[in-house]
Amino acid sequence: MKLQILFRTFLIALFSICIISITGCNKDEDEPPAREKFFGTYNVNENCSFGNDNYTVTITASSASEDAVVISNFYNIGVAVRANVSSSGTELNYNDTQDGINFSGSGSISGNTLTLIFTASQGGATDNCTATAIKQ
């Protein structure tokens, strides 16, 4: 008799643990793509070997892939440059040619500040630039 009571108690405890374990297994929320932290409009302060400039860019999703963005009005000439966002979601890289100008460089984001280091090359001329962009 005592053995039956002990066995029943053990089965009830085991069943309870199984039920608690199963109900605790919910699907985790999908995290938004890493590129989303780059989305927005930025005020840019650009320092280049050919001169300095202040302007605005807008960064949006690229339809090319889940880890790509489009930077509109890049270099303040109205072109849209495509960039790939790293898996960490804090860096981007680009090598894109628009209007005959090759833009090659990288960037990193920290809080609302995006820092871009790039070259703009056309023919034999290369403009070396560093830009600090603050999200509006």
Q: pLDDT for 19-40, tens place per residue?
A: 666 665 555 567 778 899 999 9
66-84 pLDDT, tens per residue? 999 999 999 999 999 999 9
The mean predicted confidence, pLDDT, of the chain is 89
74 within domain boundaries: yes
7 within domain boundaries: no
102 within domain boundaries: yes
Q: Whose structure tokens read 């100008």? A: 101
Phi then psi dihedrals of residue 35, to 5 deg:
-70, -20
Structural domain that includes position 68:
34-135
Contact predicate 92/38, CB 8 Å: yes
**What is the domain count for the chain?**
1
Which CATH number goes with the domain that contains 112? Answer: 2.40.128.420
Q: Would you give the DSSP letter of residue 104?
A: E
The percent of residues in the chain predicted with pLDDT above 90, rounded, is 74
- Angle among Cα 24, 28, 34 to the nearest 5 degrees reads 160
15 within domain boundaries: no
47 within domain boundaries: yes
Indicate the pTM of the whole model. Answer: 0.77
